[in-house]
Amino acid sequence: MTEPQAARQASIVGSEQVLRPSSVSSAPATTIPETPTSTLAWSSLSLDDEVVVQGPQPTAIEIEAIGVTAPVVALGVVSETGQMEVPDSVDDVGWYQFGPSPGQPGSSVLAAHVDMYGEGPGVFFNLDQLVPGDRIEVLFDGGTTTTFVVTSTERVAKAGLAIDSIFAPAGEPVLRLVTCGGGFDRSSRTYNDNVIVTAEPEMP
């Protein structure tokens, strides 16, 4: 484990100040309840229609290229901050359940820890090693599997992250995997960047 990894007290995926869908206010969660619902209004994205969360629930993810096999857990937002929840364990991947299911129209977001103090490397520790053409398999509760093909891997400064594009509720189906990356800021105890992998459904 590197010095930054050993030094940090807790790894927050993308930092709590980054993975905040702009449609979620910092007020107590009223538009996005803690209990999952079937619809979500993304009013701040200037959309006229509500986003209907469709499709089966993802239950696991496999990425052979970096040796990942991990359960996927449904997560929402932190009611006090309006920010995306993160998995409790470094071994889990969190799916933003108020956005699209993987393979449905829009951007489906799966986030996981890169590491955690006292627990070591997280499930997305080697996420930045993915290259275009690598395959990602998402398993669903109905027993089906959808394969995605990586189109890009990028490291983006958290201050310049375009949240609306990551959490896009409509458009072509896109899978985005997110974790922390870059240098470690000891004062804020977070990494400076996000690693973002974009993938599209594999064509038949």
Which residues touch 30 (CB under 8 Å, ≥6 apart)?
A: none
The yes-or-no verdict on residue 42 having pLDDT over 80 is: no
Question: Domain tally for the chain?
Answer: 1
- Of 162, 164, 169, 166, residue with least CA distance to 197: 166
- Which of 8-17, 32-41, 77-86, 108-117 is least confident? 32-41
> Which pLDDT band, with edges at 50, 70 and 90, does 133 fall under?
very high
Which domain CATH number covers 127?
Answer: 2.40.260.10
- Of 119, 139, 116, 12, residue with least CA distance to 63: 139
- What per-residue confidence (pLDDT) applies to 47? 26
- What per-residue confidence (pLDDT) applies to 21? 46
Structural domain including 172 reads 3-201
Q: Are 195 and 178 in contact (CB under 8 A)?
A: yes
In the chain, pLDDT over 90 holds for what percent of residues? 47
CA–CA dist 38, 154 (Å, integer)? 32
Of 114 and 42, the structure prediction assigns the larger pLDDT to 114
